[in-house]
Amino acid sequence: MIEELLPGLYKVEIPLPRSPLKALNSYVIKGKDRFLIVDTAMNREECMIPTLSALQKLDIDLNKADFFITHLHADHAGLVGVLATDTSKVYFNKTEASFISFQPKPDYWKEHFVFYAANGFPEDEMQRVWQGHPGYRYSSRRRVEFTTMVEGDEIEIGDYLFRCVETPGHSPGHMCLYEASKKILVCGDHILFDITPNITHWEQLDNSLNHYLTNLEKVHKLDVDLLLPGHRRLMSDHRKRINELQEHHRNRLDEALSALENGGKTAWEVAPYITWDIEFNSWQEFPSVQKFFAIGETIAHLDYLVLQGKARKDTKNHKTLYSLS
């Protein structure tokens, strides 16, 4: 689905089959001589075909197209290796460019799973995650050369002048684009309306939830009339939504803290105490990949409680245990 939001600025909705996210909001900005495409969907045929169809309808010449990728997740970056040409610039945050090339790295995933096992994730569940994790299955298979961006860098395209705003939390180097004169914030997965962004543990980011909450405050100060998120609805009142997201995480922190009242637990043991917005009746019914995402978010909240001094973290028998301070 294509929608013109403002002159020369289009939203392209790309389906994400069998994903709870449902679709990606990609944005296309037309300039005089170049085009800018913000985020691409997963590297799979079910995403590529509607993407190419939409770009053709918008009369986009990929030889004149540049890309801005808000963050490393496959549902935002997977197709950039297919779509980018030798004449394309791929704008990407410097933090994530330092450790990822959008090519699968088995050692990275192996180390990732060892970490989750230490937090209680069972081996049989892990095997199913390996088979179904979208980041492993649908990332770009082609090495991508980046034009790296940092806070304050600008991208001018047509009548739009976007400034880069660093917003780590959802990912280690997540980056938004802010158009001050038109009061537009392209926010990737930093702010979502119908769902809450997943805030998980990242080895490259010291306390991801702390960064995320800090960067919600950062964009709260911006003057915004149009918010362009990576998924679901577009809205204008970003400050109201930020307040709701802050309350959501306060509630989740309270649930995690309550789970520790009767003794130390791994993140796997804490997760069933958390309220998850997913269409299953019990923790046992969750698909393994969704359990994987939930455990990552549980770890992020438990680590935040440790940072606050409300919980402690210890290692026992090669397992990470959290308990009340």
pLDDT digits (tens, 9 = 90+) for 169-211: 999 999 999 999 999 999 999 999 999 999 999 989 999 999 9
For 148, the token pair is: 């790296």
How far is Cα 115 from Cα 256, in angstroms, rounded to an integer? 20
* pLDDT above 70 as % of the chain: 97
Q: What is the pTM of this model?
A: 0.94
**Model confidence band, residue 101 (pLDDT cutoffs 50, 70, 90):** low
Query: In sequence order, what DSSP letters do the residues of 36-95 get, joined into one string?
Result: EEE----SSHHHHHHHHHHHHHTT--GGGEEEEESSS-HHHHTTHHHH--TT--EEEEHH
**pLDDT exceeds cutoff 90 at 231:** yes
One DSSP character per residue, 248-283 reads HHHHHHHHHHHHTTTS-B-HHHHGGGS---SS-SSG
**pLDDT attached to residue 102:** 57
DSSP-assigned letters across all residues of 143-203: ----EEE-TT-EEEETTEEEEEEE-TTSSTT-EEEEETTTTEEEEETTS-SSSPPP---BT
Q: Say yes or no to pLDDT of 45 above 80.
A: yes
Whether 288 contacts 128, CB under 8 Å: yes
Q: Which two tokens stand for residue 216?
A: 């919600």
Please name which of 262, 179, 253 lies closest in space to residue 209, comparing C-alpha atoms: 253
Select from 3.20.20.220, 2.60.120.10, 3.40.50.150, 3.60.15.10 the CATH code of 1-103+142-236: 3.60.15.10
Query: Could you tell me the pLDDT band of residue 106, with boundaries at 50, 70 and 90?
Result: low
Which of 59-73, 95-109, 283-297 is least confident? 95-109
Supply the DSSP string of 4-42, one letter for each residue. Answer: EEETTEEEEEEE-TT-TT-EEEEEEEE-SS-EEEE----
Q: What is the mean pLDDT of residues 254-283?
A: 93
Q: What is the DSSP string of 286-301?
A: S-HHHHHHHHHHHHHH
What is the domain partition of the chain in residue ranges? 1-103+142-236, 104-138+258-325
Q: Residue 130: its pLDDT value, please?
A: 75
User: Is pLDDT above 90 for 273?
Assistant: yes
Q: Would the pLDDT of 104 be above 60?
A: no
3-class DSSP assignment, residue 311 = strand
Confidence of residue 38 (pLDDT cuts 50, 70, 90): very high
| Token pair in block for residue 312 | 């402690």
pLDDT, average across residues 52-75: 97
Res. 111: pLDDT tops 60: yes
Domain covering 104-138+258-325, topology: Arc Repressor Mutant, subunit A (1.10.10)
Strands 90-93 and 147-149: parallel
| Chain mean pLDDT for the chain | 94
pLDDT reported for residue 181: 98
Which range among 22-31, 48-57, 107-116, 229-238 shows the weakest confidence by mean pLDDT?
Answer: 107-116
